């Protein structure tokens, strides 16, 4: 075997070994997702709302996203959370509009998404 062939083989073996073992540090490990809940509801006057809790986001906000029939998820509104992480936001839209809640990622937590419901 030629020397250049041996070197190429050695480099290929090293690359495969490193990819199997992994070189990530604990700091690069996956962050936990936000603790996020969301439920749909209807008020006494017939208005639809989304309420829930993001206990890892006290006094911050969560994003409410809406997807129209055949469309993509777009920011619909921001809901402020209280000191306990609770939020409530009234929503509306045409028939077949779907909603989800997104807790944005930060240094400690990864982004979390929770599907809520679609309007009839």
Alpha-carbon span 61 to 104, nearest angstrom: 9
**1 in a structural domain:** no
CATH code (residue 82): 2.60.40
Is residue 17 in some structural domain?
Answer: no
- Give 120's pLDDT tier (boundaries 50, 70, 90): confident
Please state the domain count of the chain.
1
Q: Which residues neighbour 37 within 8 Å (Cβ) at sequence distance 6 or greater? A: 52, 53, 54, 114
Q: Which two tokens stand for residue 28?
A: 């690069």
Q: With contact defined as beta carbons under 8 Å apart, do 37 and 53 qualify?
A: yes
SS3 3: helix
For residue 8, pLDDT beyond 90: no
0.85 surpassed by pTM: no
Within-domain flag for 3? no
| Tens-place pLDDT, residues 59-72 | 999 999 999 988 99
- Inside any domain, residue 38: yes
User: Over the stretch 22-43, which tens digit does the pLDDT of each residue have?
Assistant: 444 455 568 999 999 999 999 9
- Domain ranges, residue 92: 28-118
Does 91 reside within a domain?
yes
């Amino acid at each position: 075997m030629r020397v250049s062939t041996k070197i190429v083989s050695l480099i290929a073996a090293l690359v495969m070994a490193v990819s199997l073992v992994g070189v990530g540090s604990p700091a690069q490990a996956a962050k936990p997702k936000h603790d996020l809940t969301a439920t749909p509801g209807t008020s006494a006057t017939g208005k639809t709302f989304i309420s829930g809790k993001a206990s890892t986001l006290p006094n911050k906000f969560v994003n409410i996203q809406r997807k129209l029939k055949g469309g993509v998820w777009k920011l619909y509104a921001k809901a402020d959370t209280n000191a306990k992480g609770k939020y409530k936001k009234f929503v509306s839209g045409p028939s077949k509009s779907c909603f989800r809640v997104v807790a944005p990622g930060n240094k400690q937590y990864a982004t979390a998404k929770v599907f809520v419901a679609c309007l009839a």
